[in-house]
Structure 1
């Protein structure tokens, strides 16, 4: 499968590229810095001829308000995929928009870390944007509340809009197993036009 990946130098993006290539896929891995540069603003040009576009870009983390530029980037991604004729779009999302109780998102709970709040709110708005798209087969994939480099076990659970926790009450996934889940979704296309979450 021919895949275009944005955000390839991040913790998650690097692992997605590795997992997909190890499965024999043809992956073009781009980032705004590094040797292979490419911006989502150029999706219409860059994505022509690809089967799937993956976005592992994150909201700006430079102290500025992240929501407006992040939504603009995602709109460019959507419009570019349409113009390039690519129907399948997989987006690495955030955990903050996952529900911990009816009507209560993780980002709105009292103990949510302040340093991640603006980024999580921007991701939640991006999810709303994708939910209005009915002409592309997008999948928005939220990680568990904790995602860090670790072991590739190939084992994970898939949920919907609710935060998944393990027997100890923790919500966690290794970046390696999150990449496995992304690669599985790329290959199987099991959740078109849905948000899913991945955790142990």
Structure 2
């Protein structure tokens, strides 16, 4: 499979690149700076179309601005541009590296709306929830999958063993909700290969 990976140098993107390459897939790494792979401004739909042409799938690990401003508008603008560019290139498969804040908790609230949700991550999580809403409302013509991590994600071990779910926050028996970035990458590449979650969200945790 030929995969365009946007945001290939971050904690998650770099591990997706490594996992996909290890399985024999051809990965085109795209970053804003171009220090790794090709330079891509995802807010330019023409450039997205040019970069995506000839690929079987795109994976987006685009991060919102982290300069203290409200990240929702620029992140949504970036995703609208990405969707338009993929349509132009006729690349229908899109996998989005999403957030955990929109996962439903046992109380019925989204995780981002619960009282103990960390304030430092709230604006970004709200922005990521809007991306999921955008996909659900306006991307029925694309084969998208939105992958939410557990409540916590960090570098760790690749085990290949984890729970999979849909819209509910997954927890372990002790109440924790964690996934390593390495196993998150496993789930992403599994989904690209198997296509079992078209036009819906999945999540994973130990």
Scaled to the shorter chain, the TM-score interval is over 0.9
Alignment partner for residue 161 of structure 2, among 155, 174, 179?
A: 155
Deviation at 1:45, TM superposition (A): 1.2
1:29 to 2:22 alignment: no
Deviation at 1:43, TM superposition (A): 1.4
1:57 to 2:24 alignment: no
Unaligned runs of 5+ in 1: none
Deviation at 1:170, TM superposition (A): 0.6
1:101 to 2:99 alignment: no
Aligned with 1:131: secondary structure? Answer: helix
2-structure distance, mates of 1:162, 1:143? 11
1:154-188 superposed Cα distances (whole Å, 9 cap, x missing partner): 11111011000011111100000000000100111
2-structure distance, mates of 1:81, 1:161? 26
Counterparts of residues 16-95 of structure 1 (less than 5 Å): 16-33=16-33, 34-36=35-37, 37-40=39-42, 41=44, 42-95=47-100
Aligned residues: 200
1:191 to 2:197 alignment: yes
2-structure distance, mates of 1:139, 1:35? 25
Contact between 1:150 and 1:174, CA under 8 Å: does it hold in 2?
Answer: yes
CA RMSD of aligned residues (A): 0.9
Contact between 2:9 and 2:36, CA under 8 Å: does it hold in 1?
Answer: no
Contact between 1:6 and 1:30, CA under 8 Å: does it hold in 2?
Answer: yes
Deviation at 1:102, TM superposition (A): 5.5
Deviation at 1:35, TM superposition (A): 3.7
1:180 to 2:189 alignment: no
2-structure distance, mates of 1:3, 1:171? 29
2-structure distance, mates of 1:35, 1:139? 25
Give every structure 1 segment of 4 or more consecutive aligned residues whose post-TM-superposition deviation is greater than 3 Å: none
Counterparts of residues 108-187 of structure 1 (less than 5 Å): 108-132=113-137, 133-187=139-193
